[in-house]
Amino acid sequence: MNLAEGPRVAIRYLSLGDYEELAPLYEQSAELHAQWMPGAPIATYEDFERYMGRFDGPLHEGFLICLRDTGAIVGRVNVNNIVRGTHQSAIIGYSAYASTTGRGYMTEGLGLLVGYAFGEMELHRLEANIQPANTASLNLIKRVGFQREGFSPNFQYINGAWRDHERWAITAEMTA
Ligand SMILES: CC(C)(COP(=O)(O)OP(=O)(O)OC[C@H]1O[C@@H](n2cnc3c(N)ncnc32)[C@H](O)[C@@H]1OP(=O)(O)O)[C@@H](O)C(=O)NCCC(=O)NCCS
């Protein structure tokens, strides 16, 4: 079921049934993803089942960005580390795929996700952490309206080393 719809894409929850469509997308995107993301969690169906377990509790939610006309998956966004109470915050992680990048789908999809997070999910702040050389991701997050808050040295272990990241965020006030 679509949770929010824009002119070209919609967002919906990720589910176990998406494995068949996702596996080739991850396979074709190994090079695109390697430098910027932790390794793909879905080499086998068993890996994917284990990975899906992270969404059982209240801490993480997984979303897909899909074309409205065909339903084809064009990207994904995770809302991770959800903190309730006086924070109402989370950290997002996202990716497109080799055959779907460079078409504006992620900008539209992330915009929908921000609206859903600040609406139905009742969050107040979303954070994104991006390596300084990841120009495509920095351009994307700026287009969606995030602001740069700072710099986190040695923030995440990716592709064999602890990588510096820029910290970007958006709060509900910034979308009002
Ligand atoms: C980061 C990432 C998600 C950005 O995705 P993206 O495809 O650049 O983002 P969009 O889908 O919004 O596409 C924007 C591009 O489409 C182009 N575009 C083409 N047709 C378009 C259209 N009809 N409407 C809008 N934009 C369009 C835009 O000009 C822009 O290209 P540009 O940046 O060269 O100017 C993608 O590069 C990726 O998956 N990278 C690897 C994983 C990764 O880095 N994840 C983030 C870790 S922090």
CB half-sphere exposure, 85, CA atoms < 13 A: 2
Q: What are phi and psi of 3, to 5 degrees?
A: -95, -30
Identify the residue whose C-alpha is closest to ligand 1 atom 18: 103
Whether the pLDDT of residue 42 is over 90: the answer is: no
Q: Which atom of ligand 1 is nearest to the CA of 74?
A: 11
Mean pLDDT of 77-89: 98
Average pLDDT over residues 25-52: 93
Does 32 sit in the ligand 1 pocket, CB within 6 Å?
A: yes
Please provide the average confidence, as pLDDT, over all residues in the chain.
97
Structural domain boundaries, residue 50: 4-175
Radius of gyration of the chain from its Cα atoms, rounded to whole angstroms: 15
How many domains would you assign to the chain?
1
Q: Which of 29, 64, 103 to mutate to test the pocket of ligand 1 (most atoms within 8 A of CB)?
A: 103
CATH of the domain at 62: 3.40.630.30
At residue 41, the pLDDT reads 80
Q: Is the pLDDT of residue 40 over 90?
A: no
| Local confidence band at 93 (pLDDT 50, 70, 90 cut-offs) | very high
- Read off the pLDDT of each residue in 31-46 and give the average, rounded to a whole number: 91
Report the C-alpha gap between 15 and 28 in whole angstroms: 20
Residue ID of nearest Cα to ligand 1 atom 20:
103
- Which residue has its alpha carbon closest to ligand 1 atom 1? 137
- When pLDDT is cut at 50, 70 and 90, the band that residue 105 belongs to is very high
